[in-house]
Structure 1
């Protein structure tokens, strides 16, 4: 059994991580750290876990007792954590923040997008889990980048409110978000840099504009990314390209029919729909921001790092209604 510790256990990603790991046949949660909730039951914070576990949050962190730790803290805090703690040599680290996703040539953390970095992930000790928007959008672009077919990229993508984290704010509380849609961080979202870095790794010399308009949705979880660009190949060739690229990646499926968020919520799946309109290739990508976009992908990476089938514990089914 893989012995697991979780640092920063009170947020949405940690709660989702616990939900997945409780059903994982080869993993055991040893401790879950939360300074503000130490001594409380997990279900006091993550109420969906009531009746599932009697685990309690703890104050201390016994690194010798675990094989891997998941860092589920706010952005900026993981880098501080790594500086402040002398971790055992055998301990693996999976970070769910954006602290180690960039500057990959000079970074001991491997960028954890399995569909492009599976061999490196299998051999790594430290892993930087990708962002949720970045996962959805990159999966819509990887085959084109690998085929050196990228042109100027245009993306509109909408995300559920859980993507903003658990701490309430003016744009996440129910009375503002319900029945409402809004644009934020247009052309300047933090995930742009990690996506651009991946595109340049697969297509050296790529220097076209990457236009990204993020949208706040009036639903809890899920991402739909609408991606389009000029592309010289036909629709049939594009679908063949995508099918071949993802033929060995179990969580990405190409759909001949339009896709929607309800098909992926509560799963680690990404569904892609590829269509040609004149000179434009249009790719629609849907994922759950908390699973494939965060905690599910983190478990997928853990499986690879420990030599397991990457689907283990992740054969999750959506709830459409």
Structure 2
């Protein structure tokens, strides 16, 4: 499609964190008009009453119904709700669906897609893994936030069958990763000046990570041990993965830079990066070091942008033939 083309987007579940982030991105996208944004809980309210930073940016109001005038639907609803939504609504086949929940990520095979609901085939939407498959797709299962950060840290190794030793990963995420509904572990008074781990070695994103890496490696995949942490900040993910490797630091850096040379949002840093360098952006920063026999890869993303809504927009750009970076030239917070 040419640069003059504009498409219409609908957002389902627009009142939450990912829905709000989707609104912010699409309101400033050069090739998108927002056809509608729905929310069962906020129907009839102006968008800016819920997402208060959008006051003065839009007069859109939340609807309680599914609009019919859209080329692409973003499903920003909870896990389990997306599958029910697709099955319960008569969505025209020409409308592309990008789901941000986990409902359509669970193909355990090694192919790029699986028919999962209502006759729709969902392709796993990690552009650095299968950009061409995404371009040809009709529906996208957007990856999880931790899954994105960890896979980007390990894809180059899997591509060369170099994941031969057990992998250990620790990762910390901001409170927005837990969703907008308050819980005991997301409330400010508990989260502030605090840290805790959760779902140790049993995080749900390990399922999609394992599926991806098994599909890439010709050899058997070793165990991937992941310990996630809740951080006392709002946005961002920092993961550190390490494994025994014969690669030197120079060899590993060269391999990573070659793998990601054609991918605009992944950068291999020559110095230890800080989380603030990626917050509010669609970037992933990788840092590689060798400590003894261990190769250590640090991966950083914004959980709401590259880990959710930004990656969904990146996938939309690929689906419709736009510049992959369109609408995603975003500035890090820095201070």
Instruction: Name the TM-score, length of structure 2 as normaliser.
Output: 0.94
- Equivalent residue for 1:305? 319
Asked if residue 185 in structure 1 is aligned to residue 190 in structure 2, the reply is no
* 1:180-232 alpha-carbon deviations (Å, 9 max, x no partner): 00000000000000000000111034331110000000000000001101111
Output the CA distance in 2 between the equivalents of 1:94 and 1:184.
28
Output the CA distance in 2 between the equivalents of 1:162 and 1:4.
24
Residue of 107, 116, 133 corresponding to 1:120: 133
Output the CA distance in 2 between the equivalents of 1:116 and 1:299.
16
How far the C-alpha of 1:44 sits from its partner, in A, is 1.0
Runs of 4+ in 1 over 6 A off after TM superposition: none
* 1:55-114 alpha-carbon deviations (Å, 9 max, x no partner): 000012123x11000000000011111111221121000000000111154332100000
Work out the number of aligned pairs and report it: 320
Asked if residue 215 in structure 1 is aligned to residue 220 in structure 2, the reply is no
* 1:132-173 alpha-carbon deviations (Å, 9 max, x no partner): 000011000000000110121100000000000000000001
Asked if residue 66 in structure 1 is aligned to residue 79 in structure 2, the reply is no
Residue of 15, 39, 42 corresponding to 1:10: 15
* Structure 1 spans left out of the alignment, 5+ residues: none
Give matches, 1:58-207, under 5 Å.
58-63=63-68, 65-103=69-107, 105=111, 106-107=114-115, 108-150=121-163, 151-207=165-221
SS in structure 1 of the partner of residue 41 of structure 2? helix
* Structure with the higher fraction of residues in helix conformation: 1
Output the CA distance in 1 between the equivalents of 2:12 and 2:144.
18
* Structure 2 spans left out of the alignment, 5+ residues: 1-5, 116-120
Q: Over aligned residue pairs, what C-alpha RMSD do you find?
A: 0.9
* 1:231-255 alpha-carbon deviations (Å, 9 max, x no partner): 1111100000000000000000000
The answer to whether the 8 Å contact 1:6/1:71 transfers is yes
Output the CA distance in 1 between the equivalents of 2:37 and 2:7.
15
- Equivalent residue for 2:57? 52
- Equivalent residue for 1:269? 283
Output the CA distance in 1 between the equivalents of 2:186 and 2:53.
20
How far the C-alpha of 1:6 sits from its partner, in A, is 0.5
Output the CA distance in 2 between the equivalents of 1:216 and 1:47.
26
